[in-house]
């Protein structure tokens, strides 16, 4: 019994201690010139879908729920955001070379087709972020159209 108490106390102290690990929040104030919406004409519906389902991890604008202030949740979220942004950041899309933009747009179609995005662990908490069939079609159709006109929109 004494051992259980010691372990629980140690656990509690550890939990309190990790609350002091700082995490930078991912919330830009301004919209960058390289933002997806600044470089391509994105239909409002598509913007809303991406914002709702993808921007938390793939842009500089994460919406933070109250529990995100608690460690280890904040650390776990920050790691998803860092990894997600490294692969694809809608706020920086315009700074990618044209080829990379094209390959990222293709990767988005693949991820939606395969159902790998948004991450399952995220959907578990954010049920509303799940893409409906209509959402998927809207995003994919828009990308198909945009991909073809990319070279006209922007010269490298």
What does the chain come to in residues?
Answer: 156
Which of these segments, 8-16, 18-26, 34-42, 102-110, binds ligand HEC (CB under 6 A)?
102-110
- Would you count residue 108 as binding ligand HEC (CB under 6 A)? yes
- Would you count residue 39 as binding ligand HEC (CB under 6 A)? no
Structure-block tokens of residue 50: 């991406």
Interatomic CA distance for residues 110 and 42, integer angstroms = 19
Within 8 A by CB and 6+ apart from 66, the residues are none
Structure-block tokens of residue 143: 């990308």
Interface residue with ligand HEC among 40, 118, 142, 146 (CB under 6 A) is: 118
Q: How far is the CB of 141 from ligand HEC (least distance, A)?
A: 14
Residue among 6 and 137 whose Cβ is closer to ligand HEC: 137
Residue with tokens 């933002």: 35
Within 8 A by CB and 6+ apart from 45, the residues are 138
- Would you count residue 83 as binding ligand HEC (CB under 6 A)? yes
- Would you count residue 117 as binding ligand HEC (CB under 6 A)? yes
Positions touching ligand HEC (CB under 6 A) are 53-54, 56-58, 80, 83-84, 87-88, 104, 107-108, 111-112, 117-119, 122, 131
């Amino acid at each position: 019994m004494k051992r259980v108490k010691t372990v629980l106390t140690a656990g509690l102290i550890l939990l309190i201690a990790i609350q002091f690990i700082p995490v930078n929040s991912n919330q830009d104030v301004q919209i960058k010139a390289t933002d997806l919406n600044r470089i391509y004409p994105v239909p409002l519906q598509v913007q809303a879908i991406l914002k709702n389902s993808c921007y938390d991890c793939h842009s500089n604008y994460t919406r933070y729920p109250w529990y995100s202030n608690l460690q280890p949740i904040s650390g776990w979220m920050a790691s998803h955001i860092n990894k997600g942004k490294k692969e694809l950041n809608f706020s920086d899309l315009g700074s990618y070379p044209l080829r990379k933009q094209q390959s990222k747009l293709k990767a988005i179609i693949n991820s939606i087709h395969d159902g790998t995005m948004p991450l399952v662990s995220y959907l578990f908490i954010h049920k509303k972020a799940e893409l409906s069939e209509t959402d998927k079609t809207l995003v994919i159709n828009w990308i198909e159209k945009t991909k073809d006109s990319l070279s006209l929109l922007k010269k490298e």
